[in-house]
């Protein structure tokens, strides 16, 4: 039971008073920022990354864990109280949750979302702890070509398997990949695409790109839509506690949601918020109250919300064990690791087990803190929702630039922020997904290294890539993930896929 | 999408100019990559794999995507765009540009305060004589918290030097 011991050690490390304080700051900030309309988990994590710059790696990652889970909770509060479809992964929650809030049952909706997230987070984090060592063992037999194949699979699923257009998904991905070759080549030390500008030698910062694309691009996009009148925020009326019937209807939905969400998040091919949709469909089929669906059925909040959190914890499996980010949020977390010179993957478990297990343990602690904090503070979060748009977005841009300036106070960096912000805006206007750019930017150099290593071993023979059975299977899966959606879309079945798109802002 | 390709609409349809512009931009990026890595090509070792290999593959892919985009532009497969208002965009871009230019001379608070006010102006709050001072004071408080307590290196200007 080595896992159990490691986890216990991690809990002891994470339970030190200073680390508990970091976790508390993390969950509070994460929830507060995540609640703001238009800000999803990816942007929350990118905006708050600079807050952790001056801490030691352990403290910073613990705060990070809090921010990550806090951002998720915050997002569900927003979608229940403020019907903002298309905002983020919790779009399904808005379906039933907002109806419940309108019917004066906002309290129980928030409660079942919060408790369901807790249950799912707890189970999924434990599953993460117990599965991770096995995947690490498996990953140790992976050579460069297996890693390369795995990354190709991740590229395809993140960019083109879901969403409404293969073309636009792939274009986003390759824009990210093109930016990723800027700077000094890792293997030969050659300058590529830096045009003699010293600021570009280190490559393009993932956090700069993410903040620009998500925060500035989104702000410009919202501003350009003009004033469409204020959004309607549902006040939380009546009791916030769940009745016995609410409990009875919720608990199975929580468990089912967790079981659906975790494997989907944990697959290296994850990255889309399919779990929430599957969970919603499942609950709709199994419910004893089908007439309530569409009018505020509590299962329709409980299940998807649990699935959402479980798959968020699930994405940490490929991130921590393989160093493979499958969502924009995970890509930014990977950037957070890299800023301390840490590369997540099987080696990190061997060289720095305290850090990894401290992180996993602090996810458990953050989860518990959120349950305790979230419900009593609902009133405060509702107040945050009422910030008028001009001040909200002025504040978002203030913090977005603060992060970039804090990391690198240079005019050039701000210029990149502005350029990528405009790029993000144009991409939004034309319906290009944003997440593939960020994933391509961070995963590009890693994939290139693995590819060139495997080709160097085979002396340039490209067929080496399919000569290992594992790599061949992964590449076939990637090809299927590319071709099957193309056929589906050509036959007019594309709506299902575009509904499943991860519109992760 | 392709279901409603009935005859009348195909006759009216012209190629989507914006999509053609995107295709041109993708091809331009590919051209820049080809030009830049062409000087590296001789560097490839005897395995024929060097620093130019992957950028070239990416550039080829971008050209392929550009062609595909042209095809979709002619078939009218690009989604409808909502009408964009450019006034607010100009306000916000002006704010970001002002911050960029003022940062090193005027310091964090003044530069970011102006960004704050111009962004708010983009969303309809045009009373700059109120929003600029409010923004500057707000940014000064943030500067004190982040530069003072969290020790981030945020550039200091005349205002910040009063507190140092």
Q: What are phi and psi of A423, to 5 degrees?
A: -60, -45
How many A×B Cβ pairs under 8 Å?
190
Spell A288-325 as b/e; 16+ CB within 10 A means b: eeeebbeebbbbbbbbbbbbbbbbbbbbbbbbbbbbbb
- Residue B58: per-residue pLDDT: 94
Q: How many CB atoms lie within 10 A of CB B78?
A: 20
- Residue B113: per-residue pLDDT: 92
> In this structure, are residues A431 and A164 in contact, taking their beta carbons and an 8 Å threshold?
yes
> In this structure, are residues A117 and A306 in contact, taking their beta carbons and an 8 Å threshold?
yes
The closest CB to that of B89, out of A220, A394, A431, belongs to: A220
Using CA coordinates, name the residue in chain B closest to A459: B47
The closest CB to that of A190, out of B40, B65, B84, belongs to: B40
| B114–chain A nearest CA distance, Å | 10
Cα angle at A14 between A8 and A18, to 5 degrees? 150
Interface contact flag, A397 B1, Cβ < 8 Å = no
Rounded distance between C-alpha atoms, residue A74 and residue A225, angstroms: 25
* Probe site for chain B from A196, A223, A443, A446 (most B CB atoms < 10 A): A223
Using CA coordinates, name the residue in chain A closest to B119: A394
pLDDT band (50, 70, 90) for residue B29? very high
Using the predicted structure, report yes or no on whether residue B11 has a pLDDT greater than 50: no
Rounded distance between C-alpha atoms, residue A488 and residue A494, angstroms: 6
Residues 6+ apart with CB under 8 A from B103: A405, A409, A411, A414, B111, B155
Using the predicted structure, report yes or no on whether residue B3 has a pLDDT greater than 70: no
The closest CB to that of B65, out of A174, A187, A397, belongs to: A174
Interface contact flag, B116 A456, Cβ < 8 Å = no
Q: How many CB atoms lie within 10 A of CB B127?
A: 11
Instruction: State the distance between the two ends of chain A, measured CA to CA, in whole angstroms.
Output: 39
- Residue A375: per-residue pLDDT: 75
Using CA coordinates, name the residue in chain B closest to A212: B96
Low-confidence ranges of chain A (pLDDT < 50): 1, 85-88, 272, 502-505
Rounded distance between C-alpha atoms, residue A41 and residue A75, angstroms: 7
Using CA coordinates, name the residue in chain B closest to A55: B150
Looking only at Cα atoms, what is the longest distance across chain B? 72
- Residue B97: per-residue pLDDT: 93
In chain A, residues 451-480 whose CB comes closer than 8 Å to chain B: 451-452, 455-456, 458-460
Rounded distance between C-alpha atoms, residue A407 and residue A46, angstroms: 12
| A267–chain B nearest CA distance, Å | 26
Rounded distance between C-alpha atoms, residue B123 and residue B117, angstroms: 10
Interface contact flag, B151 A425, Cβ < 8 Å = no
Using CA coordinates, name the residue in chain A closest to B69: A167
Instruction: Locate the DSSP E strands across chain B.
Output: none
> In this structure, are residues A125 and A68 in contact, taking their beta carbons and an 8 Å threshold?
no
The closest CB to that of B152, out of A53, A178, A421, belongs to: A53
Structure tokens at A339: 């800023």
Interface contact flag, A167 B65, Cβ < 8 Å = yes
In chain A, residues 418-447 whose CB comes closer than 8 Å to chain B: 418, 421-422, 425, 429-431
- CA-to-CA dists, residue A157 to A151, A424, B49, angstroms: 10, 21, 27
* Probe site for chain B from A224, A411, A421, A501 (most B CB atoms < 10 A): A224
Looking only at Cα atoms, what is the longest distance across chain A? 71
- Residue A501: per-residue pLDDT: 52
Q: What is the ipTM of this complex?
A: 0.88
Residues 6+ apart with CB under 8 A from A82: A37, A98, A231, A232, A233, A234, A385
Cα angle at A504 between A402 and A233, to 5 degrees? 85
Residues 6+ apart with CB under 8 A from A125: A313, A360, A363, A364, A367
Rounded distance between C-alpha atoms, residue A262 and residue A270, angstroms: 10
* Probe site for chain A from B43, B54, B109 (most A CB atoms < 10 A): B54
- Residue A415: per-residue pLDDT: 92
Interface contact flag, B51 A451, Cβ < 8 Å = no
For residues B63, B67, B73 and B74, what is the CA-based torsion angle, rounded to 10 degrees? 160
Task: Give A463-503 pLDDT, tens digit per residue.
Answer: 888 888 889 998 998 898 888 888 887 776 555 555 555 44
User: Under DSSP, is residue A184 helix (H, G, I), strand (E, B) or coil?
Assistant: strand
Rounded distance between C-alpha atoms, residue A417 and residue A388, angstroms: 25
Rounded distance between C-alpha atoms, residue A34 and residue A158, angstroms: 23
Instruction: State the distance between the two ends of chain B, measured CA to CA, in whole angstroms.
Output: 62
A397 interface with B at CB cutoff 8 Å = yes
Interface contact flag, B138 A195, Cβ < 8 Å = no
- Chain B hits for A48, Cβ within 8 Å: none
The closest CB to that of B123, out of A195, A393, A417, belongs to: A393
Interface contact flag, A224 B85, Cβ < 8 Å = yes
- Chain A hits for B36, Cβ within 8 Å: 192-193, 195
Task: Give A155-179 pLDDT, tens digit per residue.
Answer: 888 887 766 788 898 999 999 999 9
Q: How many residues does chain B have?
A: 164
In chain A, residues 169-208 whose CB comes closer than 8 Å to chain B: 170-171, 174-175, 177-178, 181, 185, 187-188, 190, 192-193, 195
Q: How many CB atoms lie within 10 A of CB A407?
A: 19
Interface contact flag, A460 B48, Cβ < 8 Å = yes
Q: What are phi and psi of A292, to 5 degrees?
A: -80, -20
Structure tokens at A62: 């613990």
- Residue A86: per-residue pLDDT: 43
| B48–chain A nearest CA distance, Å | 6
Residue among B43, B108, B2, B93 at smallest CA distance from A423: B93
Spell A459-491 as b/e; 16+ CB within 10 A means b: eeeeebbeebeebeebbebbeebbeebeeebee
Residues 6+ apart with CB under 8 A from B98: B111, B114, B115, B118
Using the predicted structure, report yes or no on whether residue B1 has a pLDDT greater than 50: no
Structure tokens at A92: 């399904």
Structure tokens at A216: 């500035």
The closest CB to that of A185, out of B29, B33, B51, belongs to: B51
């Amino acid at each position: 039971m080595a896992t159990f011991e490691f986890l216990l050690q991690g809990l002891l490390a994470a339970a030190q008073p200073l680390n508990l304080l970091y976790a508390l700051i993390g969950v509070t900030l994460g929830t507060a920022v995540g609640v703001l309309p238009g800000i999803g988990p990816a942007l929350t994590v990118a905006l708050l990354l600079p807050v952790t710059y001056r801490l030691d790696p352990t403290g910073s990652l613990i705060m990070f864990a809090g921010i990550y889970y806090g951002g998720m909770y915050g997002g569900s509060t927003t979608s229940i109280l403020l019907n903002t479809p298309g905002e983020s992964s919790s779009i399904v929650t808005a379906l039933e949750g907002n109806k419940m809030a309108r019917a004066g049952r906002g309290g129980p909706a928030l409660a079942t979302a919060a408790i369901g997230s807790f249950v799912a987070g707890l189970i999924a984090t434990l599953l993460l702890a117990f599965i991770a060592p096995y995947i690490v063992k498996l990953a140790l037999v992976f050579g460069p070509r297996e890693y390369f194949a795995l990354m190709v699979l991740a590229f395809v699923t993140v960019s083109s398997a879901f969403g409404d257009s293969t073309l636009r998904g792939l274009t986003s991905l390759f824009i990210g990949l093109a930016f990723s070759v800027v700077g000094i080549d890792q293997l030969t030390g050659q300058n590529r695409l830096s045009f003699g500008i010293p600021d570009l030698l280190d490559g393009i910062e993932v956090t700069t790109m993410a903040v620009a694309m998500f925060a500035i691009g989104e702000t410009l996009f919202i501003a350009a839509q003009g004033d469409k009148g204020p959004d309607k925020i549902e006040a939380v009326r009546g009791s916030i506690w769940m009745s016995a019937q609410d409990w009875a209807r919720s608990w199975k939905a929580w468990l089912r949601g967790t079981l659906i969400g975790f494997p989907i998040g944990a697959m290296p091919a994850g990255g889309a918020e399919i779990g929430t949709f599957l969970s919603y469909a499942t609950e709709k089929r199994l419910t004893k109250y089908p007439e309530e669906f569409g009018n505020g059925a509590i299962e329709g909040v409980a299940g998807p919300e649990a699935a959402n959190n479980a798959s968020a914890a699930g994405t940490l499996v490929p991130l921590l064990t393989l160093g493979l980010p499958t969502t924009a949020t995970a890509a930014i977390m990977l950037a957070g690791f890299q800023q301390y010179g840490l590369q997540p993957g099987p080696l990190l478990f061997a060289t720095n087990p305290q850090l990894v297990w401290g992180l996993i343990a602090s996810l458990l602690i953050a989860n518990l803190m959120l349950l305790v904090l979230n419900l009593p503070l609902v009133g405060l979060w509702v107040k945050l929702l009422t910030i008028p748009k001009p001040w909200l977005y002025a504040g978002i841009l203030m913090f977005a630039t603060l992060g970039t300036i804090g990391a690198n106070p240079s005019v050039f960096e701000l210029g990149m922020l502005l350029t990528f912000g405009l790029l993000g805006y144009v991409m939004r206007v034309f319906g290009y997904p944003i997440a593939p750019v960020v994933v391509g930017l961070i995963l590009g150099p890693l994939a290139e290294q693995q590819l060139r290593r495997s080709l160097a071993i085979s002396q340039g023979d490209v067929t080496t890539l399919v000569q290992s059975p594992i790599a061949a299977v992964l590449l076939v899966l990637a090809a299927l993930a590319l071709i099957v959606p193309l056929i589906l879309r050509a036959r007019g079945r594309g709506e299902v896929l575009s509904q499943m798109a991860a519109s992760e802002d | 999408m392709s279901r409603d390709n009935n005859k009348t609409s195909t006759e009216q349809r012209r190629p989507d100019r914006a999509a053609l512009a995107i295709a041109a931009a993708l091809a331009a990026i590919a051209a820049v990559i080809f030009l830049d890595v062409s000087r590296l090509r001789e560097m490839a070792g005897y395995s024929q794999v060097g620093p130019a290999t992957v950028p070239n593959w990416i550039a080829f892919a971008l050209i392929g995507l550009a062609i595909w985009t042209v095809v979709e532009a002619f078939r009218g497969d690009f989604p409808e765009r909502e009408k964009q208002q450019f006034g607010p965009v100009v306000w916000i871009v002006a704010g970001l540009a002002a911050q960029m230019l003022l940062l090193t001379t005027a310091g964090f608070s003044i530069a970011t305060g102006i960004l704050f006010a111009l962004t708010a102006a983009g969303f309809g709050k045009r009373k700059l004589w109120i929003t600029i001072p409010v923004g500057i004071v707000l940014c000064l408080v943030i500067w004190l918290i982040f530069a003072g307590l969290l020790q981030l290196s945020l550039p200091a200007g005349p205002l910040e030097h009063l507190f140092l």
